[in-house]
Amino acid sequence: AARGGGMHIPTIIIPALTGINMNVESIKMSLGIENVNLTPKYERSVMLKFLIAPPGKLLDIKGLDKLESRDDIKFYYIDYKIGEIVRELKTGGDRAGYIIFDGETRQIVLKKEKEIENLIKWEVE
């Protein structure tokens, strides 16, 4: 069966990159509707940034409010809750979460990467 990729590719990333609603266009394709429109409305750049927290018991996460106040943050997810044990990074499943953010160009997004990553402060013991 045809389906979009994981990690919010069809629902957040492609729309932010191109303005195309992949869910609508995929449904049209699946139903054999001929007026599928995959022409980009614009071209932007998007980054899916995986987060790494230091290992230990998670006491607090600071800076999430700063993420929520930014228009360029399209989505974020934190895998750990306060009180849980953050595992040492050995596999993809040990990541602390991810952030999806955008900008007008690749250079702008690359400049934002460290700034956005540094908004989050992990407090562990």
Judged against a pLDDT cut of 70, whether residue 1 lies above it is answered with no
The pLDDT value recorded for residue 2 is 60
CA atoms of 19 and 12, how far apart (whole Å): 10
The pLDDT value recorded for residue 6 is 84
Phi-psi region of 110 (alpha: psi -120 to 50; beta: other; left: phi over 0): alpha
Question: Structure pTM?
Answer: 0.88
The pLDDT value recorded for residue 111 is 96
Judged against a pLDDT cut of 60, whether residue 87 lies above it is answered with yes
Judged against a pLDDT cut of 90, whether residue 70 lies above it is answered with yes
CATH superfamily of 44-125: ATP-grasp fold, B domain (3.30.470.20)
Domain ranges of the chain: 1-43, 44-125
pLDDT tens digit string along 22-50? Answer: 989 988 988 999 899 999 999 999 999 99
